[in-house]
Amino acid sequence: MFQFVVDVALRACDLMLIAVGMSAVYSLMKFPNIALAQYAAMGAFLAIVLQRAGLPLVPSSIVAVLIVGVVAVLLNRVLFERMLAIGSSTAMIGSLAVSMVISAIFLVIIGPSPARFNLEITRPLRVLGARITEHQVLSLGITAAAISVFAILLFKTDLGRCMRATATNNLLADATGIDTRKTKTAVVAISACLAALGGIIITMKGEVNIQTGLDLLLPVFSAAILGGLGNPLGAVGGAIVIAMAETLITNVNFGPILGQDLVFLPAAYATAGSFVILVLTLLWRPRGLFISEVKRV
Amino acid sequence: MIEVQGVRAGYGDGPDILNGINLVADAGKIVTILGPNGCGKSTLLKCIAGFVRPRAGDVRMSGTAVTNLKAHEKVRSHGVGFVPQTDNVFSSMSVTENIMLGARFVARAEREQRFEALLTQYPALAAKRNRKASALSGGERQLLSLARALIAKPRILLLDEPSAGLSPRMMHEVFEAISEIRAREGICILMVEQNAFEALHISDTAYVLSLGDVAMQGRASDLLADPAMRSLYLGGDAPH
Ligand SMILES: Nc1ncnc2c1ncn2[C@@H]1O[C@H](COP(=O)(O)OP(=O)(O)O)[C@@H](O)[C@H]1O
Ligand SMILES: [Mg+2]
């Protein structure tokens, strides 16, 4: 049972940072930037490349996260701002196209085989009967810390106030002396950094390949929508719900129901889980699960 | 002080909405812009505030050309406070947060003091300081937006139909608040109004726009007495 909690937490933390980033960007830019899932993979690849070049893991990761932030700001200035001037659906389709291009670039530069960090393999710990590795514990800790820092930024700093004001009412924010373009640029950078960190955390627990970004897209998008797009902290809850659904689908033994000993659904069905949740959310709670309780940002 | 010289403006590729407007608003005065719906009053205010870039002409504030400055730059460098016609509060944020957002450029020590002074001034807001702005009535929102602009100590205050949709009592209260601001702060107040009669009573001068042109202008008291003005905009004949 505790293993289930651990599995859900681990999966949720795979999705959480990217989903929070996607939601934060949406709240200011008013379009879901699909490329965020690719920024996650980009962060992981860059960190691996830097580590192979001789940098220790932590500085590699920090540099990779910052580079992704800069790339995101450039893409935003060069592409997304212009596409947004045409319309938010244009920008969303554009971000899908950018994702495909990034995938192609990965294929050319890195090739189809998966890449890993050079990490010491440690024996799994036993906690209340559940198996968990040190790296998994670390990934939970980093995710929790990143979310906390982001929440403090959002609610306790001047930049956070400007972000929330711009998200609520762009024109009035301008009329209040907030440089809304600068604020949006900051959010684009912060969310890309969150996504890149998310990608690094996923890779710490396994590997990254050219498909990773696209595989993350559906569950991350579902988590962000479930949390109410534009409500970044809602995406935390969204990620947990999606992780629960996926874990239930893959970890539950359907054997007893079917009169056999062991029947597990293939892992590929997990995706179907997030897809079903996405469709149900769009039908019944299009503004997310938490709209009445959580302050919309 | 604001000077608008020959401003032409419109939206996107659309036609000119303003066809060369000239207007002056002095410090310590209330200047009202009147005119029928759709004649370009809000567009003119947005040009002055920096949301619409004029296609021709100049906007000056205290003698400096500010025609091409962005809205947020005018707030900081020329002390512009703007209360838009609609959506003029941060609806998902609290009353306190709304006001404090206006105080970002005010020295920390002064912030609290001005905040408390404003709440004393507007008790309707004080009672709801922790409520979300979306929970306020129309009149309270108007006051909130005014308070958000005032806490920054503006030198120029642009108000777009501050009395729109208010009950007569609330409208009176808002106009009272506006003329108090002039008396107290000596700033330049430029407002767009539909309630011409009440607005002219607290104004010094007024401009009447018609389809993007200034059709009439003059001292508010003269316009109030003008028979043409009376029949067109004030809903009645001049007293005989
Ligand atoms: N954002 C906009 N885009 C295009 N046209 C607009 C926009 N805002 C206003 N207009 C048009 O400009 C004209 C003047 O509008 P406005 O300045 O709001 O008038 P008023 O405030 O006097 O009622 C109207 O014909 C209106 O349809
Ligand atoms: Mg108007």
Beta-strand ranges (E) seen in B11-110 are 16-25, 30-34, 56-61, 64-65, 80-83
Torsions phi, psi for B59 (to 5 deg): -120, 130
CATH number at residue A34: 1.10.3470
Least Cα distance to B94 among B59, B49, B60, B140 occurs for B140
Q: Is the CB of B36 under 6 A from ligand 1?
A: no
- The structural domains of chain B, with segments of one domain joined by +, span 2-84+156-232
Work out the average pLDDT over B208-220.
92
With beta carbons less than 8 A apart as the criterion, state whether A19 and A224 touch: yes
| pLDDT digit string, tens, across residues A17-31 | 999 999 999 999 999
Residue A262 backbone zone (phi > 0: left; psi -120 to 50: alpha; other: beta): beta
End-to-end CA distance of chain B: 37
**Distance from A297 to chain B by nearest Cα, in Å?**
8
Residue A153: inside a domain? yes
Residues of B in contact with A162 (CB under 8 A): 104
- Tell me the CA–centroid distance for residue A102 and ligand 2, in Å: 46
Distance (Å) from the C-alpha of residue B224 to the closest C-alpha of chain A? 32
Tokens representing A277 are 């949740």
Per CB distance under 8 Å, which residues of B are interface residues toward A? 49-51, 70-72, 75-76, 82, 84, 87-93, 97, 100-102, 104-105, 148, 152
> Distance of CA B183 to CAs B37, B57, B176, Å?
30, 32, 11
Q: Which residues of A touch B93 (CB under 8 A)?
A: 164-165, 168
Token pair 């955390």 in the structure block, residue: A201
Ligand approaching nearest to the C-alpha of B44 = 1
Nearest CA in chain B to A171: B51
Q: Predicted confidence band at A75 (pLDDT cuts at 50, 70, 90)?
A: very high
Looking at chain A, which runs of residues are DSSP E strands?
125-127, 130-132
Inter-residue contact A21 to A192 (CB < 8 Å): yes
Identity of the residue in B84, B97, B101 whose CB atom sits nearest the CB atom of A171 = B84
Does the structure show a pLDDT above 70 at A291? no
A184 at interface of B, judged by CB pairs closer than 8 A: no
> In the block, which residue shows the tokens 């495909």?
A100
Q: ipTM value of the model?
A: 0.92
The whole-angstrom separation of Cα B162 and Cα B137 is 13
CA A179 / ligand 2 centre spacing (Å): 24
Return the SS3 of B22.
strand
Distance A165 CA to ligand 1 centre (A): 25
| A296 contact residues in B (CB cutoff 8 A) | 92
Superfamily of structural domain B2-84+156-232: P-loop containing nucleotide triphosphate hydrolases (3.40.50.300)
Structure confidence at residue B99 (pLDDT): 97
Interface probe for B, chosen from A168, A183, A233 (most Cβ of B below 10 Å), is A168
Tokens, residue A23: 């939601």
Residue B123 CA neighbour count, 13 Å, CB half: 1
Q: Give kind and range of the element (H or E) at residue B190.
A: strand B188-192
- Which residue is closest to B82 within chain A, CA to CA? A175
Single out the residue of A193, A192, A173 nearest to residue A183, CA to CA. A173
Does the pLDDT value for residue B76 go beyond 60? yes
Residue A274 and residue A15 in contact, taking contact as beta carbons nearer than 8 Å: no
User: Which of A266-275, B85-94, B218-227 ranks highest by mean pLDDT?
Assistant: B85-94
Residue A290 lies in a domain: no
pLDDT single digits (tens) A157-172: 999 999 999 999 999 9
Q: In angstroms, rounded to a whole number, what is the distance separating the alpha carbons of residues A231 and A294?
A: 8
Q: Is A178 on the interface with B (CB under 8 A)?
A: yes
Only one residue has tokens 């008396």, namely B183
Residue range(s) defining the domain that contains residue A275: 2-114+128-284
Distance CA B221, CA B236 (A): 16
CA-based nearest distance B88→chain A, Å: 6
Q: Is residue A293 part of a domain?
A: no
Residue A292 lies in a domain: no
Compute the distance from residue B224 Cα to the ligand 1 centre, in Å: 27
Say if ligand 1 is within 6 A of residue B37 CB: yes
For ion ligand 2, residues whose CB falls within 5 Å: B 42, 85
Would you place residue B235 in the very low, low, confident or very high pLDDT band (cuts 50, 70, 90)?
A: low
State residue B238's pLDDT score.
42
Q: What total of structural domains would you count in chain A?
A: 1
Contacts of residue B49 in chain A, CB cutoff 8 Å? Answer: 175
Domain membership flag for residue A269: yes
Mutate to test the pocket of ligand 1, among B7, B11, B192 (most ligand atoms within 8 A of CB): B11
Closest CA to A274 of A230, A225, A234: A225
**pLDDT score of A65:** 98
User: Structure pTM?
Assistant: 0.90
Nearest to A158 among B72, B82, B104 (CB): B104
Q: What is the SS3 assignment for B167?
A: coil
The residue among A223, A159, A185, A221 whose CA lies nearest residue A80 is: A185
